Chains A and B, each alone.
Chain A
Amino acid sequence: MSIPLVYVVWRAVDVPLSDITAVLMRPRVQELTLNTLGLSLAVALTALVMGVVIAALLSRVRFRGASSLLLISALPLAVPSYLASYGWLVAFPGLNGFLPSWLLLTAVTVPYVTLPVAAALRGTSAEGEAVARTLGLGPLRAFVDVTWPQVRPAAVAGALLVFLYTLSDFGLVAMLRFETLTWGIQQSFAASFDRSQAAILALLLVVIALVVVAAERSARGQVVTSRAKLATREPVGPLSRTLALLVVLAPPLVGVVAPLAGLAARLFQAETLRDIDLSRLGLATAATIGVSVLAALVALAIALPLAALAARYSGRWVGALETLGYLPHALPGIVVGLSLVFFSLAVLPPLYQTATILVFAYAVLFMPKALGTARSSIEGVSPDLVNVARTLGARPLNAWARVTLPLALPGLGIGALLVAIATMKELPATLLLRPTGVNTLATELWSRTSAGEFAGAAPYAAILVLVAAIPAMILSGVRRTAKEEL
């Protein structure tokens, strides 16, 4: 789990201190750092606001087909960021810079906030808000003063994931030509073959991530377990409802519909349409599903003990471990991939370029996605229940397995699904570590687009979004049943 970090430090340590400072002092590096910070903060903030607003709208406004709206709002998760930017570039080739990067990244990451906040809202009692209303507060004030503090931990945790995602994203910003630290890292590898310089920049990313993760832990607040009572839905005029609908649908439109439309347009533009090799498509799909399921399980296995510790104890060591778990998420895929090349060749050469090390890489990369939900779902189990189990004769581990685990399972399932989706979309580490000859949908998509075969790429893109959409939709559904059962 700390392998990428060890690797980055190892490579950076090779460099004399004077060189490190020289690199860091370079105005371009400072420019890249500012770009990275600016974009990540901007995206995290907008995703936070939008996510909370959408979740609130979905739970408080009476929509027709409300459950399918939640499903749809989860769809942007299924679209890889590079696909989103690619699709938009088809329609607007001149698109570049900060603004499009900001908007597109927000569109594809909003669900990271929406889904947990929607789940948290279902678990909160609307009574407090109702009381506040009788005391004279308007609906907005009531929400902000009463309900927001209860959903804050979920919202902030989601925003953290968005921040780390943006920090490490390469595909989208490269295509939109917005130069960030990940771009700098890529340049160091590609243009200068300078791995030490790349390591220094990666270290910068880690430092930024460290600061933000620490900040999130203090902003987290307490998880409140309360009896869920159904919230009253506000009656809302048709104009407001339409407006609300537009807000809810905005991210899926921008992040899913538009890029896919762009890709479809490409399909029709091409004069040469290669025959779709169905067996190849099938194999890639099977491989994609296979690794993502395994990665989800492994990530969960790693996250579970960590989350269990973090939920019960708040000592410094546990906090440090949790933070450590988040950091690799800030690194771009190529760095994580290379770190595992280094690691597996050093420690377990026979495992190099096997499915095992690939699944392990995914687990390392995406475990943080499972960590947050795992922790909060374990925290959500009342300690009274475990205490009762112990007085009934169950030893601590036994009580944990028979009581805490089954009750936390829906939340753990959510974490696993998030990891699965991220794995399906992953590209750079996959290219480095996959067994030679094995392809996932993402690598097939990449090899076609980089060879200019857009027509051939389209079916892979479509299947990729389709396959990733399945866990995304389960995600919005599972949360619903989970909360209602509890």
Chain B
Amino acid sequence: MVMAFLNSFVFINIGFGQHKNGLQFLTDKKIISFQNNETSDTLPAELLNYFLYDTLWQTNIGPNANRLIFTGKKSQAAAGVSALIGRQKKIIRPGWIRPLMLDTVKISLKPFGTSFFIYKQKLTPDYPAINFNQFVILDSPGHSLTISGKVYGGEDTIRSLDIEIATKDFLLMNVTSAANNRVFGKARVEVDLKVTGNSIRPLLQGSFKLNDETNLTFVLPEKNSGEASAKSVVQFIEQDSVVLKPKKAITSGRKNITNVGKYFKESLDIRADKNASFKILIDPNSGDFLQVKGAAKLIGGIDSTGQILLTGNYEPDSGYYELNSQFLNKRFNLLPASRIEFNGRPADAKMNIRAVYTIHTSPKNLLGNEVGSVNRRIANSFNRELPFNVILFLKGTLSNPAISFDIQLPDSNKFMNGTLKNSINNKLMQLRSDISGINKQVFALLAMGRFVGEQSTDFFKGNDAGLSDVAQESVSTFLASVLDHLASDLFKGINADLNLTSYQDFASSDALQQELNVELSKSFLNDRLSVTAGKNFGIESIDGSAKAAQQKGSRFLPDVTSNFKLSADGKYLLRSYTKNQFEVILDGYVMETGLAFLVTMDFEKFEELFLKKAKKSGN
């Protein structure tokens, strides 16, 4: 995050210096040097070419120009410009002796998205150093940033630094959204820094503060989830070039956690205003992001490789996690005490974030079949809509987030019936012991806005590793993989001796996804239809023939009974049936096909049937 910004800001790491006979520019591609020619008043062709063509800079450089505007994306601009202008269009006495006067320079750098201006500023070369004496850079609204101090040049590219940078309010960055950018947004900073050390490993002291108008987005590296599905089945390798020995699982990604302390010796305060807001794009594929806002107080340092390090806890005041799946868009609000703990590289920061999404739905499907006999009033209260909190836990590191869920009943339901409340809490507690159960209900709540009723047949799945092991990088990938698992159960069946061919061709995942969505909604909504084949005595079970009979459009088996619940509780039922020769009495070898309408009333004691009626009329 911050590191990205600073890496671009260190313009000094481009080599420049005085060569024996002339001026040398050390660009990122090659060294361009030209002879000290006092009479020449044109730019050497090679240098011009470099500016014009080798880089993508645009310039209106010309023989009579006294103002140069470079628009480019590289920070070399500062170095190049200063040298050229200082010679005031003529290479009279190139070198470091004369102060470099910068008349009017506009520098537009793509990663920063904003322009910086230098008006009538002076760089005083004092070989081997360059002096910055109250060197002012202005941002686009006109705020100033002052650089004072020395940069020691040399023949090599490592520079010693001894400068101070100060600004009260500086618009450092204002990028709307750029492709391939790890960081974008708006950054206004207040800086009071002392930079020592060298250009490879600068030592920073002082403070760096992001002001209230800051609104930055950090993009986490994409995980190649598009190819992931095919990859999980098979990976292509060349045996000779790949070591296939499985390595021991790495316990911690942050190997150097113990020795980062030494890089924080110089005290660099990094702060953010309480109104500064940050967005972390967790899943660039789907667009899931975490938006946080609040004051930060961290300590920064730079390790031996120039990598920015941060330490301290960031506790956002407010924020949310936004889920942007194909078919869903939901916002989880951050709960208090959520925080990000920095201790080393920013990407390794540990998240400890809890966010909540509240949904109003009836607990009927949740409790479903697991409530024994209860009186009618309580049974009715199951139908009432109640608020439920889906809690999202975002843990792991910023670069490798892990997601888990919980479902809770908010305490605010004061008027709730005690029996109902206990039942729900007992059920939720039971679910917590079974990750796959929670995952499935969370999926249902997010995708369909209601709980999904458990079926006894759901428990045929062995350990259910499918649903407890689902992808956990972001809520969107979680949803997609739950969808996959649920659907593959629907298609494949769970019976060992049913050995159905896999429906997947792994070809077009979009089409597949669509199909799954359709099938899924069908199965969730049409769980009122049940089919049995043969003399199965009409009880739902894992039955191959019943599954075969269920196949739409390929009805083939005789002796099939289908039940369709007209009411959710199964009191009213429509049934189609076939009776075979042994059941049809007196008619000889004759089959009977029919459709029946059934009303069923379950009871423990016969009085119940009449009690209900009495109550109804009483109401």
Q: Do A and B bind each other?
A: no
Report B's interface with A, CB cutoff 8 A.
none
